[in-house]
Amino acid sequence: MLNDARITVRVGSDFKARVEKTAEALGMNLTTAITMFLFQMERDKALPFRPSITTARSGIAGLSQGELNAAVKGAVKADRERDAARGLPEARYDAAVNRAFLAYPDGRREYVDGNE
């Protein structure tokens, strides 16, 4: 049964207030954020971040700019491949005619204004 167990974590009240504000800014409460962490950990069978002994690294989330670029490119590629396998379109822009369109894996284009 979902939501039939409780996990208790003790943290400082100032820290809790700060992370509650962050969670709220992300559109959720702290319970939802922690639950998302746990689901991600269970799904990946790993922590949803890379633990490190070093106290600080440059870049976002402890990644160098090169590592961050590679991670984003890999995620975009995987997302595109998954969507193409499911027959989902990709949003693109045709600069020659100044119109946005959806590009389907079968080669079809559907312009956002409804005209072909």
- Do 92 and 116 share a domain, yes or no? yes
103 in a structural domain = yes
- Please tell me the predicted confidence (pLDDT) of residue 72: 85
2 in a structural domain = no
- Do 81 and 96 share a domain, yes or no? no
- Average pLDDT of the chain, as a whole number: 84
Is the confidence at residue 58, as pLDDT, over 60? no
Q: What residue numbers bound the domain in which 77 lies?
A: 57-85
Q: How many domains does the chain have?
A: 3
Please give the Cα distance from 49 to 60 (Å, whole number).
12
81 in a structural domain = yes
62 in a structural domain = yes
The β-bridge partners of 98 are none
Q: What is the 3-state secondary structure (H, E, C) of 49-109?
A: CCCCCCCCCCCHHHCCHHHHHHHHHHHHHHHHHHHHHCCCCEEEEECCCCEEEEECCCCCE
- Please tell me the predicted confidence (pLDDT) of residue 84: 87
- Please tell me the predicted confidence (pLDDT) of residue 21: 92
- Do 95 and 113 share a domain, yes or no? yes
- Do 42 and 62 share a domain, yes or no? no
pLDDT per residue over 65-111, tens digit each? 888 888 888 888 888 888 889 989 988 998 998 889 999 989 899 89
Q: Give the residue with greater pLDDT, 62 vs 46.
A: 46
SS3 2: coil
- Do 65 and 96 share a domain, yes or no? no
99 in a structural domain = yes
What residue type is 101 in one-letter code? F
Share of the chain above pLDDT 70, in %: 87
- Do 11 and 41 share a domain, yes or no? yes
In total, the chain counts a number of residues equal to 116
Look up the pTM and report it.
0.44
